[in-house]
Structure 1
Amino acid sequence: MKVLIGIGGGIAAYKVCEIISSLFKTGIELKVILTAGGEQFITPLTVATLSRHPAYTDRDFWQPLHHRPLHIELGEWADLLVIAPLTANTLGKLAQGLADNLLTNTVLASTCPILLAPAMNTEMWNQVAVQRNWQLLGQDPRYHVAGAGVGLLACDRVGMGRMAEPEEILPYIHSLLHTGGKRDLTGKRVLVSTGGTREFFDPVRFIGNPATGKMGLALAQAAAHRGGIVTLVHSTLPDVAIDRRIQLIQAIDSAMMQQQMVAHFATADLVLMSAAVADVKPAHYSDQKLPKKLLPTNLELAPVPDIIAELSKLKQPHQKLIGFAAQTGDIITPALEKLQRKNLDAIVTNPVDLPDSGFGSDRNQAVMLKRSGDRLDISPCAKLEMAHQILDGIF
């Protein structure tokens, strides 16, 4: 995979160094264009060192030709173009189809998807002309957006215009490399559950499991990057910046998760029940912390509601309901039984007793079994990649 990164003139350019370094570590081939403004904040030597490839500047653009024009070569080479930070100046040029430097000429000479990460002062961002250009650019299906956020800006103001964090931009890059920029979930409402529920027996003690929410977050990110309108109901989540288009709803225990999933189910087109919901809970709850000497030696347990079974009874013909099963040993037999018993459209079963797989890992592997009888084997890969393979398999 080949990613071309265009760096504009803003202090947020320093964040792009982390993006370049992270992408290189995943084996992606990188080239970087520095605008004249971008060079005022980071040097060609910096990005060349991180990308292991010479950086391109406008000086290279205006050199005598040795082969084909540079902007043509770069435009044809890239599978994805990322512009970060996107300044008001470059935004205006892109919106009007203007090209007066290497970056903007390369944009016009390319056909690949383009990911934009805008960054500017709040007053600049709120200008009518800037917002007009932003809306105009949004009409072009080539452009995808890691949107500007609210935060402390270099001008010491707190407001809109802060560039998205690398941990938000990086998943979007990997998604676009997988999908080629397609938005096959546009207009679809996607409901995802994730994390391991915590069933408390006093305010500080609970029955739980090791689920971290990484898989469900990856599913939510993948769906949002493909145009879906995503709601993520979570008990636990990794501490990372999350695409602000994803609606987050916290549900710590099984009762709260049941309430939220049922409440949002009717409007969903696709439901991915990836949460590791407890099977039992303490039968009794103390609203005060129990002294150690009063802790029960035998903890009485009670069943919790079977959320996915309840949802399957509510499911309408247009809805797809996907279950998940974390298993040890034979992962297929119990998953097939669950698929049939709970009337699911598909079930994703994954081993949690293999290294670098399952709970807490950044990678996973699985088998997706569909009601139609089709089977998709997903080899070990990053959880975001697995999420896209699941979505590919559903549709």
Structure 2
Amino acid sequence: TRFLTLPFYHLYPEDIRLSKKYGLNAIRVSISWTRIFPKGYGQPVQAGVDYYHRLFKECLDNGIEPYVSLHHFDSPKTLFDDGDWLNRKNIDYFVDYAKFCFDEFPEVKHWFTINELISLAYSQYIQGNFPPNHKFDVSSAIQAEHNELLAHARVVNLFKDHGYNGKIGLIHVLQPVYPYPKTPENQHAADLSDAFMNAFLLDGTFKGEYTAKTMKLINEILDANDAHLEIEPGDMDILKKASTRNDYFGMNYYQPSFFAAYNGESTNHFNGTGTKGTSSFKFKGVGQAVKNPDIPTTDWDWNIYPEGLYDILQRVSSEYPNSKEIFITENGLGLKEDLPEDANENTIINDDKRIDFVDQHLAAILKARNEGVNVNGYFIWSLQDQFSWANGYNKRYGLFFIDFATQKRYIKKSALWYKALADTMK
């Protein structure tokens, strides 16, 4: 997805050209719900519809397959103000919007319903770094998780019931949780965090039920926080019907977390500035995030641990066979990077740390694949540097450096490395 500070809307032909030149044969893009339905419902805006037809044609004309998300952190403000995913009426609007897109864009053959369901619920209602910026509102967070799963399931069932030509799935960002140090108490804290961050969503997606093991942990969290989850009659039937109908699973992976037992009140500090060592997270009834001194971290205190990707791939493959085919839909390294003062069109920005990061994570993927995990694609995050809600401009992920003042693109060393890698796979 692209943000307003990046005029991808106008510059997409250049970005698609760069994608082709540097070996990409698929690209993730998202449809902005508000660009087509400004209020989330009503009459479509034809200019928005026409734009996406042009974008998809540009991709396909250049031999690049678009993998299209219907929702990527961007609910229409009218619906956001009316409760966002906490308002079940907005699920109806999302299903209507999805149907419009399926009917309107038959050139798209690969769909994702919602990107990173936990990032919405967790960042909006637990960590507080996404609007409406609530902290440790556990009832809202778990309800948002359930309602998002319901929205996804209804759209998958619509897609399959109507026989649309194409494939569909969703994207979860998975964060394996390890105890540190390894004690029974810390293992339980890790299990609680995993249930909230991973298992509840994976169960709902691919089992169509919340297993007894998962719900025992979730209920422990709810009880500790005087929180509750409302599941209406028929909800689980919808989840169950959809659970076998996903064609593939998009997995985003950046880091694991390390957890220890904690008995105090909830408190956190989100490191959005890249001031290393400033993040903290303590969740009442769950545990606290801790640093494992053996694991390197980024300036934003993200753990660098490729083995976590291998572990979570193996887990999904063995515990959730309905995931079928797995794509790594995001993986990458955010860095502080500057443009040299004498930069010109031939400048290549050195980002060896990013190359090492991606190389190690690709090795983890190949190890899992060689052991039978059906993982068949990798999307690096990201094509270009972007503006982030949570981190502003200073956390750069791209293969291409963006001078935000001029919008000029500069090549990073990782782009050349990635092209060489892609060329070996032709």
TM-score by length of 1: 0.29
Whichever structure has more helix as a proportion of its residues is 2
Which protein is richer in strand relative to its size? Answer: 1
Higher relative contact order (CA 8 A, sep 6+): 2
